[in-house]
Structure 1
Amino acid sequence: MSADGRPHLDKAKLKKQFDISHFDLNAIIRGIQLTLVGAQRALQNPEIFTSQHYKQAAIAVAAGIVIRMLIAFPIIGIKVLLWFLSFFLSLDRVTWDDKLVNGLTFIEEHVLQAPLFFMSLMRYVTPTLDDLFMSSLRWVDQTYVQKHKNDADPSRLRAMYYPQLQLYRATDGRTHSSSTAESVTLFLYRFARKGALSLAVFALSYVPYVGRLVLPAASFWTFNRAVGLGPASVIFGTGVLLPRRYLVIFLQSYFASRSLMRELLEPYFARIKFTAEEKRKWFRSREGLLFGFGIGFYVLLRVPLLGVLIYGIAEASTAYLITKVSDPPPPPSESQGFAASQTEWRNKQKFLSLSLGNLDALHDKPPPYSELDPHPAAAQQ
């Protein structure tokens, strides 16, 4: 309150609410570009074409077929039931049966995100994805050295990522536990909770009178936390006018791309130990770029049958991404304070200003960090 008793407008707080610097359009576009550049770099890695990876690719395609069958099984069951009922009911004169099948397909594909669930579950069944990430990280280092071998001042080149990161013991990136059972349990719990929430919101959108506002309100709440009050208000206003189907696809695509990025980055966070708050800040400072990268691969993952294979390419591409949004890790014995120093994206503006054909031009050495100064990167900005 001001001295005369009137409400005081906190301009700094209001400015913060409308700040979208962490989710600006330039960062999103650069993230989409990295989808293509990262995939191209990953496919240049000769280790991907070894007999072992051919076998894994064949398994991935087979898994894609199985996943599609698992997703389609309930729909097939409903169709068989409707076919059986057609002997007793005249279904050719009604449309509710077609609406039921189409509705169930929509819920599985877009509301529950079943394809993404099955593909993400593979991480806990086989170490293939972790191996792809580390193999690709080694290839990114080798490519970097090759491209800069003729630099006049080699001392300016960055340190390598793979030699240090492979020294860290891999655990669950969320609990830092090495228990596979615990990791799978938490993974199933997270997806079950998200699925239940998505179904609840989708069901409430059919409530008479107020249902029309449920999805726009959910969109506002979600994007207000991510991009601020201003953009969230625009999304709310647009959502009121959009048909329910397109609003669900838009909202769930955003959620799915976030979930996808967290799964793709798991090999990194499984080794570098971040606290929950440090990880939240890490994601927020890079949110626009990660959204662009995630939504790019999310679209590609929806290619029938080849989705699991593309998921592997996405994991390999994430190795290239991590070299653009984080500093090379130190040896494990010197890692105290490193995670805290990474919460701010130190070279964000420099990286976003590079041309698409010159993304490897930025190779500044990171400033020193210490336990007494846990956020030296922020001080450099």
Structure 2
Amino acid sequence: MPVKNRFAELQAEITEWRRDIHQHPEILFETHRTSALVAEKLRAFGCDNVVTGLGRTGVVGVIKGRGSSDKVIGLRADMDALPIHETTGLDYASKTDGAMHACGHDGHTAMLLGAAQYLSETRNFDGTVVVIFQPAEEGGGGGKEMCDDGLMDRFGIQEVYGMHNWPGMPVGAFAIRPGAFFAAADHLEITVTGKGGHAAKPHETVDPTVCAAQIVTALQTIASRNADPVSQIVVSICSFQTSSKSYNVIPSSVELMGTVRTMSNENRDLAEKRIAEICNGVASAMGAEVDVRYKRNYPVMANHADQTEFAADVARSVAGKCDEAPLVMGGEDFAFMLEERPGAYILVGNGDTAPVHHPEYNFNDEAIPAGCSWWAEIVEQRMPLN
């Protein structure tokens, strides 16, 4: 029976798992219920080894095929939810106020569980597959924590593959691109300190609000005047907070927070350098002081060429074709795994749904057969039985 047909039969069961996880979202590393559910199912499937507590709350299952090959492939899904209040009105909506699966990690987890069940039952491959269930993709760097805990070396992983659903793409369609795919996502905090006072006497103050406003505007010249126009770079100041809340008081300080997104290490270095120079220059010109804190967070997620070509071929065998994906300025901590091992990350269509990170978003269960099939075919085609 073709793999995709088998997952069509399993779709109702996998959907039940997905909707159960959806009702019980857990944020960052607090995926205790989800991790326990995953570990329980992996043991029930008959995985050869199930390891918990990797990267704090990560779960790993090992499935050995039929044969003597020492080839080992890792398949990774993320488990964590977002601090967003769900407004879908679904009968299986989040039961946790202020938390929801607004990015489809419930679907990713369920699809990889479905693939693990199939692979454990059939063992129609020569080698070993390591299924990786990761916490804290949404800003916590759970992928890095699992790698720092020895994920790749401990399980002998040689290649690693990841998948994300994508609203706006037809359900079950695939898209991928080689090289830089998702952006580096860095954090920026800036404190501007001046001298507060009465709004009617600005000449007696050093107004940090005006200085901070100038900084916000000047930072936009990094993309428009410092970086190559054909490169991708975003500097966004997303929070502007003064030390007072009043109609007639000039505050003593302003706190700015933002993010920097780049698609190359060169532009990442450029952004960090120019941000410091611009902030210090503007503050000096206006008689204020400034403290700039630039934190490098997720690196650029770059697909490896050979694995990308293979992943696209597998997608074509499942869906008939595989499109070229656009560059994505969002961050993805699968980047840490791709820095340690060659691999590839693919998008699977979620249909005409609300975008990810939206309170009305929901993973499309009709994508389950295609997603599960891609996981299974990655294993069976990369490690075929002779």
Does the alignment reach a TM-score above 0.5? no
Q: Which structure exhibits the higher relative contact order, with contacts defined as CA atoms closer than 8 Å and separated by 6 or more residues?
A: 1
Q: Normalization by structure 1: what TM-score? A: 0.22
Q: Normalization by structure 2: what TM-score? A: 0.21
Structure number with the higher strand fraction is 2
Structure number with the higher helix fraction is 1
